[in-house]
Structure 1
Amino acid sequence: MARNAITEWDIAPANNSDIAGINIAEGCPAGGINDAIRAVMAQFAGWLASAAGPLLKSGGAVTGALTGIGNGSTVLDASGVARGVGYRNIPLTAKTSAYTITLSDVGQGVSTSATLTVPTNATTAFAIGDAIAVYNNSSSNNSITAASGVTLRLVASSTTGTRTLATRGLATLIKVGNDEWVISGAGVS
């Protein structure tokens, strides 16, 4: 079978005897190796930019190319904004009125001075494992509420429901089920 995509590669080396129909088995013609290397590079580049690639979050598809090598690497998000690859910081988006988290908040932070709502999966289909940081940037407590049908669980407890984020508190929301989230952090009650 011709291996025409990186997702068709096998974890057993002996089963990978061709790439895009080019023979790379033991004793293959040396003249095909250059073409095979180019095919591997094209398949890898296609995989990086695809919906199955490793750089995507549920916030949207990669709309641009990976640029730079090493510490200066970036990828364009769904809005065309260049984002650093790796764990460099948590970009904060300021919200001054009641706010419902969105896919564009995944892997980032919301700095809020008002109530924050976690929507149902039917409204916004976050992936399990998606995480969002929340900072209460106000001089009073704020509420983090779950939309009807969503379970918002306080970490390490059976407590569910609306949570209070204390003044200058910092919380992390992680989706752990279809309509289930866990919240933890400093100032969360």
Structure 2
Amino acid sequence: MAVEDWNTDASQNTTVGGISIAENCPAGNVNNALREIMAQVAAWTEDSGFQAQDDNLDALAGLTLAANRLLYSTGAGALALATLDPFMRGLLAAPNGATFCNGVGAIRVSALSLSNPGYVRLQLGTNQFLQVAWGTASVNGAGVNIIYPINFPTMGFPVISGGSSGANAQVNDPHVNASGIAANGFPVINPRGDGTTISWIAVGY
């Protein structure tokens, strides 16, 4: 009988590995049976994957687990429990930075490009954003369509500067065609009919 076949009723255990230990068995069988028992127990212990004695497991066994508690280490072979309420569990379970920042009410830079043209997009809440974009452009007599480096989630509102400072400059210098403002850009009109360089900035959501 192998160890897994041993019976809790002692009278039913009459052999060990084929060695008889029944009543009136040869005396030599007792020694051989004890050796066989030791071998089987050793093999069974190894095969069953028993965890060796460990200080960390001893520390764990000494704790009383309860709801809303977090296990943490206080040192080598020392463990303790801290309170972990549903709010904190929700933050730890956040699948990404956007969800985490929304959970704590933080402002998060969700995208940016510090170049020309460039932009920065701030996340203020779930699907709520504030975006700023900027750049420069050359404008000739036909005007130009400024395309943002990244679309605004909803709409951007641009202003421009540049052009000349001569007579009638405010009337004739390049300006935004407000009717063409969109989430992906805006048109610039140049009534002067010559080429000039403008700087632009747009703020939106």
TM-score range relative to shorter protein: 0.3 to 0.5
Q: Which has the higher contact order (CA 8 A, sep 6+)?
A: 2
TM-score normalized by structure 1? Answer: 0.32
Structure with larger Rg? 2
In terms of fraction of residues, the more helix-rich structure is 2
